Each structure stands twice: as structure tokens, then as C-alpha cells.
A and B are shown apart, each in its own frame.
Chain A
Amino acid sequence: MIFYHFFSNPWAVFALKLAAVFIFFLTAPLFLGYVEHKGLAHMQSRLGPMEAGKFHGWAQLIADGVKFIQKEDIVPDAADRRIFMLAPMIVIIPVSLVFLVIPFGPAAVSCHAPAGAGACGFWGENFDVGIFFVLAISAISVIGMLMAGWASANKFSLIGAIRGAAQLIAYELPLVLAASAVAMQAGTLSLVGIGDAQKAYWFVFPQIARFIIFVIASLAELSRPPFDMPIADSEIIFGHMTEYTGIRFGLFLLSEYAGIVSLSAIAVVLYLGAWHGFFVPWIPGPIWTLAKIGALSFLVIWLRATYPRLREDQLQKMAWKYLIPIALVNILLTMIFKVVF
């Protein structure tokens, strides 16, 4: 009964969801960062961190975080102080908000929410326009990137930020086109609805080309190698993050890893059957979702270890000349199939 009363209080539920999303937002990137440290190292025949925390350097990321907090927070003299200090938060908040709408599991069987059955499950919020919300809000990060680049008063930062903006404009298009076809096929914009629609088969099978486009565009959006021109360290030092130190730099890094998790999660919901498993149906849905997010995030790391960085013009060419036309043709085909069958 106590539980009943607790969960019927919308404020308590709200606080609980917020706490869960926040904890996931803070721990998942940490875990992913460790996997990247170790995975990348072993792909280069190294060991990676081995000392922090004694056992295979498990505490390396925690140690890094402590280091970032301890470091001096330097703001350059010529920098636009307020914008400079605000930029990391503008970058990180949209990334954290994405986790609010990712469905990790199916809808609960019984629900006491005022909205009625089907309104609660393993997600923060079930928006009717979930996919639209996710794509719109994740694009806000680039404003933080531009702010950081401009306010730093550093030419490398500015070049990095402009590159980042150009990259985002080029790759947001194939990303949205790829995602919209899924919404078309599922007949809903709600992420929970899209997850439900994949009960029979995962959308990756009819939409393989689109899935590949989505992954490539996500990589570019995250400015991860091989699309890391905005932070290309051999050309422009560290792009828009060049002048940042301490915890503000840490926030940028956190947002990068959180971005990998969030875009992997979106790809899992859109293409890889969300919480639907195969062969072993007794494994609960959330575990399936997390495992798929992990696998996709690992792919991102794997790609980083394998491919060299593209040139800036090659990157633009790839988006405008190949990905967008292919995505458009694909959307046309999806429309035809949707109408005919």
C-alpha cells in the first residue's frame, strides 16, 4: 500500500525518474570510457590503464574525474568570460535530456499513473513526438560548441567550432531522413511505439542501408573518429576544447561519451529492436537494451581504432553526394512499400 501511495504521487515518481536518468547519465559514460581505454589499448596491442584501483585499472576514469575537479579552471584573458564558462553546460544538458525519453523496456503490465495503462514502463517519459524531441534536442549541442569556439578567442577553437557546425548541418540531414523512415514504417513518432512495432522483426533487416547511414551520421554528429575533424588534434590542437581546462574540459569529455551512449541507445530503439530479444526470451527487456547499446558503443570504439580521419572536404562530399541522396531514395522506397503493402 505504501508503494501504491508513493507511486501515485506524481512528484515522487518525477523525482525518482530524474534520479535514475541522472545516475545512468553519470555512470554509463564512465563505464564506456573505461571500455574505450581498454579496448583501444588492446586493439593496438597495449594494456591500457593497469594501476588505478589495482585490478586492471578499473578506477582510472574515477581518478581522471578527480583530477579534472582538482585542476585550475583557467579562462583566457581575451575570452568572452561568461559565454566561455557557459558553453560546456549548453553542450552537456541536451545530451543528458536524451536519456529521459529512451525506452529501456516494455510498458508495465499494471500501471497506477493517472494517464492509465501503458503510460509507465522502463523509461523516463513517453512523448508522442519522442523521436522528434531526441533529434531536435541533440542538435542543440552544436550551439554550445560554437559558443566555446567563438568565446575562446583562439583561432584553432574557432576553426574547430566552424567545422563542427558545418559537420552537424551536413549530417543532421541524413540522420533525420534515416530516422523519419523508421517513424514512417512504425506509424508513430513515439520511441516506445517504435520499440513496440519491432516485435515481429527488427527494423534493421528491411532498413539495413538506412541503419548504416544512421550509424555513419551519428559518428559524424558525435565528431568521433573517423569523423573527428572538429577536434582533429594533429591539425587544430583540440578544436573548440583547446582552451578548456579542469572540470569544464571534463564536462566536454563527459558529453562526448554520454553522446555515444545516447546515440547508440537511439539507434538500438530505432533499428535493433529496442528491448526485444531473440532465442532467450526469459532475459528481461532492459538487459537486452543495455546489451545492444553496449555492443553498438563498442562498434564506435572499434571504428575509432581502425580508421584514419577523413579530410574535411571528403567529409562534406560524403554527406551531400552520397548519404543524403541514398537516404532520400530510401525514404521514397519506404513510402511506396508502406502504401502498397
Chain B
Amino acid sequence: MAMTKEERTAKLRELEQKIASKKGIGALYGLVKGMSVTMRTMLKPAITTQYPHVKPDLPERTRGVIALKEENCTVCMLCSRECPDWCIYIDSHKDVMPPKTPGARARTRNVLDRFAIDYALCMYCGICVDVCPFDALFWSPHFEYSTDDLSTLTHEMDTLAKWMDFVPPPPPLEDGAEDPSQEGAAADSATPAAGTTEAAETQAPPAREERHDEEPPQIDQEAYDAAIAQGKPDREARALAKKAWILKRRKAQS
């Protein structure tokens, strides 16, 4: 009667248990078994990979570093506020854009000036990636950015943007799933509003260098002094002064 492989191994294990539980022989058996384990491990190939010579075979979505998709960032600051280490540095200014339709109110927009992550502080918790409502932060599988200098571990947005190249495209949607809302919105704005040059501007945000053609708003000293004289707190006075300065510039432009 032939035994199946499972039956045979079960029987062997039973026998093994019987021998191992005997008092004198069991100890000896344990010693011999230990020797056999080390010998078998030696004869098997080692699991170590020779890293710098051989690249590790990592999963596609390895969490190596956090990359920034710059055009998606709205400077909402959620990431830097949620960061437990406070290792995200964001600088921005408000940009005033011409109104969408003639005669309407001018639009303002946050422009990202600096986005930096200090990887010497970062603990790779990924909260910033989770919390970003605009899909501006991604886990990138890139991991080879070690240096011998702590200060060079603060990476600015050009580097963070380069790491986006390593991010694999999002997985395909399930069958019957709705179109992603943002993609639909992008399609809406892509239809040019009849004849206006402003519409072309909303289609694609200008490159970062071009956005700096307008100087950032400054504080109108007169308005500031007036607000202070009225007994307003400093913060409010500064905001009013900025507003006054923008209105003045707009008047000068038109």
C-alpha cells in the first residue's frame, strides 16, 4: 500500500516527536538535529544580495522616497501641518490673475515658491501622502539618495519633481468604475472659452519661471499706518495694507 507524501511526512514527524521527547536520546537527537540544520543552511545559497553590485529586486510600489507632482500642489499646507516631524518646508505667494470674464473680480491663486523635504528628519510615515487632497505627493520607489552630509538631505522641489519619474502610473480602474472626477474637470476646462485669451491661461498653468513676471504683493505703508491708527491688530493691518497695494497696482495697470 503506497503512502502519499503527506502521510509519510506526518508519520516521520510523529516518529521524530517520539524520539525527541525521550529523556536521554531526545537531547542527543536535538544536538544532532541542530548540526544538520546549520549544515543544510550552509549548503543552500545565502539570501544576502550584494547590494551596490546587484540591484535589489524590489516591489513596484516600494516606498523609497516622497516625490512631488508640482503642478498639483495648491499650497494648502495640509502636508506640512500634519507632518509629525515638521520636515516639510513650503513657501508661497498669492498671485493675482486677470478676471475670467471682462469686468469680473480678479482671481487670486497660490503660487508655490519652495517645497522642500528634510529627509534627515523625515520618518517615512507617509501621512503627507495620505493627507494631500490634490494628489501632489507620491511614494516613489527611488531609494538611492544617501549622502555623507546631513545638510544635503534637504531636497528641494526640482529633486522631488525628478523623483516623480520613478512613480509607476496608477493602477487601472475597476470595470464599471466612474471616471475620476479631476480628469473630467480637466476636460471641462480644456474646452476653450470663446475667443478670450484668459481661457488659454487657465488651461495650462504657466511654468514656474514665467509666473514670477508679476512682483509679489507688498505692503502699502499709508494703508498700514491708517489701520494701526484705527487700533487694528498688526496682522489685520498688514492684510489691509496688502489689499490696498494690490488695488493700487490694478488701477495703475488699467
Question: Which positions in A face B, CB cutoff 8 Å?
Answer: 39, 41-47, 50, 302-303, 305-307
B4 at the interface (CB under 8 A from A): no
* Inter-chain contacts of B31 with A (CB < 8 A): 307
A interface SS class = helix
Closest to B35 in A: A306
B182 at the interface (CB under 8 A from A): no
Q: Is the CB of B48 within 8 A of A45?
A: yes
* Inter-chain contacts of B34 with A (CB < 8 A): 306-307
Question: Which positions in B face A, CB cutoff 8 Å?
Answer: 31, 34-35, 37-39, 41-42, 44, 46-48, 50
- Which residue of A43, A50, A303 is within 8 Å of B50 (Cβ)? A50
Q: Is the CB of A47 within 8 A of B46?
A: yes
- In the bound complex, what is the Cα–Cα distance between A46 and B38 (angstroms)? 12
Closest to B33 in A: A306
* Inter-chain contacts of B41 with A (CB < 8 A): 42-45
Q: Is the CB of B50 within 8 A of A45?
A: no
Nearest CB of A to B51, in Å: 11
* Inter-chain contacts of A46 with B (CB < 8 A): 46-48
Nearest CB of A to B118, in Å: 32
Q: List 6 A-B contacts (CB under 8 A).
A: A43-B38, A45-B41, A45-B46, A47-B48, A50-B50, A303-B35
Nearest CB of B to A55, in Å: 13
Q: Is the CB of B38 within 8 A of A45?
A: no
Nearest CB of B to A110, in Å: 45
- In the bound complex, what is the Cα–Cα distance between A41 and B39 (angstroms)? 12
Closest 9 CB pairs of A and B: A43-B38, A42-B42, A47-B48, A43-B42, A306-B34, A306-B38, A305-B38, A47-B46, A45-B47
* Inter-chain contacts of B50 with A (CB < 8 A): 47, 50
Closest to B44 in A: A45
Q: Is the CB of B46 within 8 A of A306?
A: no
Q: Is the CB of B46 within 8 A of A41?
A: yes
* Inter-chain contacts of A45 with B (CB < 8 A): 41, 44, 46-48
* Inter-chain contacts of B44 with A (CB < 8 A): 45
Counting chain B CB atoms within 10 Å of each CB, which of A303, A306, A307 scores highest? A306
* Inter-chain contacts of B46 with A (CB < 8 A): 41-42, 45-47
- In the bound complex, what is the Cα–Cα distance between A47 and B46 (angstroms)? 6
Counting chain A CB atoms within 10 Å of each CB, which of B38, B41, B48 scores highest? B38
Closest to B47 in A: A45
- In the bound complex, what is the Cα–Cα distance between A299 and B58 (angstroms)? 38
* Inter-chain contacts of A306 with B (CB < 8 A): 34-35, 37-38
* Inter-chain contacts of A43 with B (CB < 8 A): 38-39, 41-42
User: With A47-B48, A306-B37, A307-B34 given, can you name 12 additional A-B contacts, CB distance below 8 Å?
Assistant: A39-B42, A41-B46, A42-B42, A42-B46, A43-B39, A43-B42, A45-B48, A46-B48, A47-B46, A47-B50, A305-B38, A306-B35
- In the bound complex, what is the Cα–Cα distance between A302 and B39 (angstroms)? 8
Closest to B32 in A: A306
- In the bound complex, what is the Cα–Cα distance between A39 and B46 (angstroms)? 11
Closest to B52 in A: A51
Q: Is the CB of A302 within 8 A of B48?
A: no
- In the bound complex, what is the Cα–Cα distance between A306 and B35 (angstroms)? 6
- In the bound complex, what is the Cα–Cα distance between A302 and B32 (angstroms)? 12
Do A302 and B35 contact each other (CB < 8 Å), given the known contacts A42-B42, A43-B41, A45-B41?
yes
- In the bound complex, what is the Cα–Cα distance between A44 and B31 (angstroms)? 17
* Inter-chain contacts of A47 with B (CB < 8 A): 46, 48, 50
Nearest CB of A to B56, in Å: 14
* Inter-chain contacts of A41 with B (CB < 8 A): 46
Nearest CB of B to A124, in Å: 34
Nearest CB of B to A104, in Å: 28
* Inter-chain contacts of A303 with B (CB < 8 A): 35
- In the bound complex, what is the Cα–Cα distance between A44 and B38 (angstroms)? 7
- In the bound complex, what is the Cα–Cα distance between A7 and B35 (angstroms)? 48
Closest to B34 in A: A306
- In the bound complex, what is the Cα–Cα distance between A322 and B214 (angstroms)? 93
Q: Is the CB of A302 within 8 A of B47?
A: no
- In the bound complex, what is the Cα–Cα distance between A259 and B7 (angstroms)? 49
- In the bound complex, what is the Cα–Cα distance between A47 and B37 (angstroms)? 17
Nearest CB of A to B101, in Å: 69
* Inter-chain contacts of A50 with B (CB < 8 A): 50
- In the bound complex, what is the Cα–Cα distance between A88 and B108 (angstroms)? 79
Nearest CB of B to A97, in Å: 33
* Inter-chain contacts of A305 with B (CB < 8 A): 38
Nearest CB of A to B55, in Å: 16
Nearest CB of A to B25, in Å: 16
* Inter-chain contacts of A302 with B (CB < 8 A): 35, 38-39
- In the bound complex, what is the Cα–Cα distance between A303 and B37 (angstroms)? 11
Nearest CB of B to A149, in Å: 31
* Inter-chain contacts of B47 with A (CB < 8 A): 45-46
Nearest CB of B to A298, in Å: 10
Nearest CB of B to A42, in Å: 4
- In the bound complex, what is the Cα–Cα distance between A42 and B41 (angstroms)? 7
* Inter-chain contacts of B37 with A (CB < 8 A): 306
Nearest CB of A to B47, in Å: 5
- In the bound complex, what is the Cα–Cα distance between A45 and B48 (angstroms)? 7
Nearest CB of A to B33, in Å: 10
* Inter-chain contacts of B48 with A (CB < 8 A): 45-47
- In the bound complex, what is the Cα–Cα distance between A45 and B38 (angstroms)? 9
- In the bound complex, what is the Cα–Cα distance between A307 and B48 (angstroms)? 23
* Inter-chain contacts of A39 with B (CB < 8 A): 42
